[in-house]
Amino acid sequence: MQIGPHKIANKLILAPMAGVTDRPFRQMCRDLGAGMAVSEMVGSTSLIRGSAKTLRRANHEGETAPRSVQIVGYDPAMMAEAARINEAMGAEIIDINMGCPAKKVCKMMSGSSLLRDEPLVAAILAATVNAVKIPVTLKIRTGWSPEMRNGPTIARIAEQSGIQALSVHGRTRNCFFKGEAEYETIALIKQSVNIPVIANGDIDSPQKAKFVLEKTGADAIMIGRAAQGKPWIFREINHYLDHGTLAPEPTLQEIETILAQHLENLYDFYDDYIGVHMARKHVSWYSKGQPNGGKFRDHFNHLETTTQQRQAIKDFFAELHSEANYG
């Protein structure tokens, strides 16, 4: 798949997730097989104001190219300015968020709420595309509600506005994350435009990845929640798509190594205080399904230093190794 001058290495893209896809997580997923990773959404207003938290979200120093930064907002001029700022900071692709269903985002007439206002969609897309020299992509849902699945119309507007790739989550805004994603509308969108289309929603296994690619005819797939605590899912899907067989599960030793490195990257990227708190959510995901995982998470979430967290990980995996060898 080609996005502007960038040839994406494979069909797998890490979805932008607020509070999750920071630089350490993006790079971890790239190292484990994602062809591209999109940043967590960056608010156009707070970026222009120079918010330290927002600028950190847009930080991609040392990250594997192509570097894609997602911006969110409702004002065409401010979205254009946010795109210019990110381009100046080294972004190689600008992604526009019109898919977030969160109430606090939609109340600001941003995210998926924009799908109700097609003229405003066109204005935002045109302003952003014309503001930068790098490619601009768009992420949407299939529509505002099951009664208003206007994804194909939005897709045509996007193509006419100069958007160079489109990601589609297989739910409407009013569906949030309830029920199952549907892929028929994504297939219709793919048939409606000539730009690359990326399918998203409920892709949580190699078999599901292959099914969605075939069902939708999409050029690539985007994986979000299924990568939380399991960044090697990209490696597993790539293997299945290439060979038609399931790759071996990672060993306990490999999971420990990946997790330990992830924590070190978090500590380096944030200061120790923030890094310790950010580590808690990721460790919760990594430990899900492991023996005594619940007890371990409760213990880990009360630790206050990087030294305590490092030791807790060593102790936890030593216990898992011991149980595995005993069994």
Q: How far apart are CA 321 and CA 12, in angstroms?
A: 32
- Distance, CA of 257 to CA of 239 (rounded, Å): 21
SS3 139: strand
* Catalytic, out of 29, 100, 106, 175: 100
- Extended beta strands in the chain, E state: 2-3, 6-7, 12-14, 36-38, 42-43, 67-72, 93-98, 136-141, 166-169, 197-200, 220-223
Please confirm, yes or no, whether 106 is among the known catalytic residues: no
Q: How much of the chain is in helix, strand and coil states, percent to nearest 5?
A: 50, 15, 35
Specify whether the CB–CB gap between 189 and 199 falls below 8 A. Answer: no
- For tokens 């898919």, name the residue: 99
| Other Cβ atoms within 10 Å of 250 Cβ, number | 17
Distance CA 21, CA 28 (A): 10
* Longest CA pairwise span in the chain (Å): 65
CA distance 47 to 40: 13
Q: Interior CA angle at 62 toward 85 and 267, to 5°?
A: 100
- Any idea which residues carry the catalytic annotation? 100
